[in-house]
Structure 1
Amino acid sequence: MVLPLVDLCAKEVVSDHSSSPGWLGCVPRELYRPLLEAAFTNCRPLAVGELVQRWPERTLRVGGQRRKGQSPPNRLCVQALLLAVVRGLADKRCALQMLDLCGLQCEEGGVGDPMGGWSLTVALCTMVVQARAGANRALRREGERERKRVLAMEKGIDPVKRERGEKEEDGGTPQARMGTQNEGPEEGTETSACRRDEDQVKGVRRRMEMERRGGCAAGPTGSTVGENAVAGPSADSEVVVCVHADLFINARSWERVRAALGVVGPLRLQCRYARVEELSVSSIGSLLDLLPRRALMGVDIRYSCLGVVGLATLLPQLSLFPTLTSLRLHYCNLDVRRDTPDQEEAMKCMSHGLGRLSQLRRLSLTALRLPGHLRKLLSSLSLPLEVLELPYLSLTPADLSYLSCSPHASSLERLDLSENRLDESVLPSVRRLLSQASGRLTHLSFSGCGLTDDLMVALLPSLACCRSLRSLAMALNPLSLAVLQDLVRMAVRMPSLRQLLYPNPLEDYQPGLPPKPTSAQLLDWPLDEMVAVHEATGLQLDRVLAESGRSDLVLTCDLLNYDVDLGQE
Structure 2
Amino acid sequence: MVLSLVSLCAKEVVSDHSSSPCWLRWVPRELYRPLLEASFASCRPLAVGELVQRWPERTLRVGRRRKQGQTGPNRLCIQALLLAVVRGLSDKRCALHVLDLCGLQGDEGGMGDPMGGWSLTVALCTMVVQARAGAQRAQRERKRFSALERETDVKRERGQRKRGKETNGDDETSTDNTELGGNDRERMGSCGVLGEEELIKGVRRRMEIERKREIAMTGLGGSSINETEEKDVNSDVLVHVRADLFVNARSWERVRGALSSVGPLKLQCRYLRVEEISVSSIRTLLGMLPRQGLLGIDVRYSSLGVAGLAELLPLLSTFPALNSLRLHYCNLDFRGDQPGQEEALRDLSQGLTQLQELRRLSLTALRLPGQLRVLLSSLPQPLEILELPYLSLSPADLAYLSCSHHASTLQQLDLSENHLDENTLTSIRRLLSQASSSLQHLSLSGCGFTDGLLGLLLPTLGGCRALKSLALALNPLSIAGLVDLVRMAVRMPSLRQLLYPNPLEDYQPGLPDLPTSAQLLDWPLDEVTDINITSSQLNRVLIESGRTDLFLTCDLLNYDKDLVD
The answer to whether the 8 A contact 1:480-1:507 is kept is yes
| Distance (whole Å) between structure 1 residues aligned to residue 492 and residue 222 of structure 2 | 65
Q: Is 1:77 the counterpart of 2:77 in the alignment?
A: yes
Moved more, 552-561 or 205-214: 205-214
Describe the shift of the 1:549–1:59 C-alpha distance in structure 2 as closer, same or farther (beyond 3 A).
same
2:533 corresponds, among 526, 533, 536, to: 536
Q: Is 1:43 the counterpart of 2:43 in the alignment?
A: yes
Moved more, 142-151 or 404-413: 142-151
The answer to whether the 8 A contact 1:222-1:263 is kept is no
Describe the shift of the 1:142–1:233 C-alpha distance in structure 2 as closer, same or farther (beyond 3 A).
closer
Amino acid at match of 1:25: R
Amino acid at match of 1:395: L
Describe the shift of the 1:52–1:213 C-alpha distance in structure 2 as closer, same or farther (beyond 3 A).
farther
SS of the residue corresponding to residue 24 of structure 1 reads: helix
| Distance (whole Å) between structure 1 residues aligned to residue 215 and residue 66 of structure 2 | 47
Structure 2 gap ranges (5+): 179-183
Give 1:197 deviation, angstroms: 6.1
Residue 28 of structure 2 is matched in structure 1 by 28
The answer to whether the 8 A contact 2:215-2:221 is kept is no
Describe the shift of the 1:423–1:155 C-alpha distance in structure 2 as closer, same or farther (beyond 3 A).
same
Residue 553 of structure 2 is matched in structure 1 by 556
The answer to whether the 8 A contact 2:336-2:342 is kept is no
Equivalent residues in 2 for 1:394-433, closer than 5 Å? 394-433=392-431
The answer to whether the 8 A contact 1:167-1:173 is kept is no
2:284 corresponds, among 283, 286, 290, to: 286
Describe the shift of the 1:509–1:165 C-alpha distance in structure 2 as closer, same or farther (beyond 3 A).
same
TM-score by length of 1: 0.92
Give 1:108 deviation, angstroms: 0.2
2:448 corresponds, among 436, 447, 450, to: 450
Structure 1 gap ranges (5+): 224-231
Residue 267 of structure 1 is matched in structure 2 by 265
Aligned-residue Cα RMSD (Å) equals 2.8
Describe the shift of the 1:427–1:298 C-alpha distance in structure 2 as closer, same or farther (beyond 3 A).
same
Q: Is 1:385 the counterpart of 2:356 in the alignment?
A: no
Amino acid at match of 1:42: S
Amino acid at match of 1:51: L
Per-residue CA deviations over 1:363-413 (Å, capped at 9, x if unaligned) read 000000211000000001000000000000000000000000001000000
Give 1:171 deviation, angstroms: 3.6
Moved more, 205-214 or 119-128: 205-214
Moved more, 105-114 or 385-394: 105-114
The answer to whether the 8 A contact 2:154-2:203 is kept is no
| Distance (whole Å) between structure 1 residues aligned to residue 152 and residue 78 of structure 2 | 46
Residues paired across the two proteins, number: 557
Give 1:295 deviation, angstroms: 1.4
Q: Is 1:88 the counterpart of 2:80 in the alignment?
A: no
Give 1:82 deviation, angstroms: 0.6
Describe the shift of the 1:71–1:264 C-alpha distance in structure 2 as closer, same or farther (beyond 3 A).
same
Give 1:239 deviation, angstroms: 0.9
Q: Percent identity?
A: 65
Describe the shift of the 1:453–1:303 C-alpha distance in structure 2 as closer, same or farther (beyond 3 A).
same
Q: Is 1:59 the counterpart of 2:56 in the alignment?
A: no
Equivalent residues in 2 for 1:384-533, closer than 5 Å? 384-532=382-530
Per-residue CA deviations over 1:464-488 (Å, capped at 9, x if unaligned) read 0001111100001011111110001
| Distance (whole Å) between structure 1 residues aligned to residue 463 and residue 388 of structure 2 | 22
Give 1:55 deviation, angstroms: 0.9
Residue 13 of structure 2 is matched in structure 1 by 13
1:565 corresponds, among 558, 562, 565, to: 562
Give 1:105 deviation, angstroms: 0.5
Give 1:156 deviation, angstroms: 2.8
Equivalent residues in 2 for 1:331-346, closer than 5 Å? 331-337=329-335, 339-346=337-344
Residue 362 of structure 1 is matched in structure 2 by 360
SS of the residue corresponding to residue 64 of structure 1 reads: coil
| Distance (whole Å) between structure 2 residues aligned to residue 216 and residue 13 of structure 1 | 56
The answer to whether the 8 A contact 2:316-2:355 is kept is yes
Give 1:336 deviation, angstroms: 1.7
Amino acid at match of 2:564: G
SS of the residue corresponding to residue 305 of structure 1 reads: coil
Moved more, 421-430 or 205-214: 205-214
Give 1:237 deviation, angstroms: 2.9
Per-residue CA deviations over 1:132-159 (Å, capped at 9, x if unaligned) read 1111111011101111221122123224
Residue 239 of structure 1 is matched in structure 2 by 237
Give 1:110 deviation, angstroms: 1.1
The answer to whether the 8 A contact 1:221-1:263 is kept is no
Residue 121 of structure 1 is matched in structure 2 by 121
Give 1:13 deviation, angstroms: 1.3
Per-residue CA deviations over 1:507-542 (Å, capped at 9, x if unaligned) read 11112121211111111111111143x222121111
Describe the shift of the 1:465–1:135 C-alpha distance in structure 2 as closer, same or farther (beyond 3 A).
same
Describe the shift of the 1:310–1:71 C-alpha distance in structure 2 as closer, same or farther (beyond 3 A).
same
Give 1:81 deviation, angstroms: 0.6
| Distance (whole Å) between structure 1 residues aligned to residue 42 and residue 172 of structure 2 | 77
Residue 229 of structure 1 is matched in structure 2 by none
Residue 324 of structure 1 is matched in structure 2 by 322
Give 1:66 deviation, angstroms: 4.0
The answer to whether the 8 A contact 1:281-1:306 is kept is yes
Per-residue CA deviations over 1:87-130 (Å, capped at 9, x if unaligned) read 11111111111110000001101111000000000000011111
| Distance (whole Å) between structure 2 residues aligned to residue 344 and residue 220 of structure 1 | 51
Describe the shift of the 1:475–1:505 C-alpha distance in structure 2 as closer, same or farther (beyond 3 A).
same
Describe the shift of the 1:509–1:195 C-alpha distance in structure 2 as closer, same or farther (beyond 3 A).
same
SS of the residue corresponding to residue 94 of structure 1 reads: coil
Moved more, 159-168 or 49-58: 159-168
Equivalent residues in 2 for 1:154-173, closer than 5 Å? 154-169=154-169, 171=171
SS of the residue corresponding to residue 122 of structure 1 reads: helix
| Distance (whole Å) between structure 2 residues aligned to residue 150 and residue 221 of structure 1 | 20
The answer to whether the 8 A contact 2:135-2:233 is kept is no
Q: Is 1:255 the counterpart of 2:253 in the alignment?
A: yes
Residue 181 of structure 2 is matched in structure 1 by none
The answer to whether the 8 A contact 1:337-1:371 is kept is no
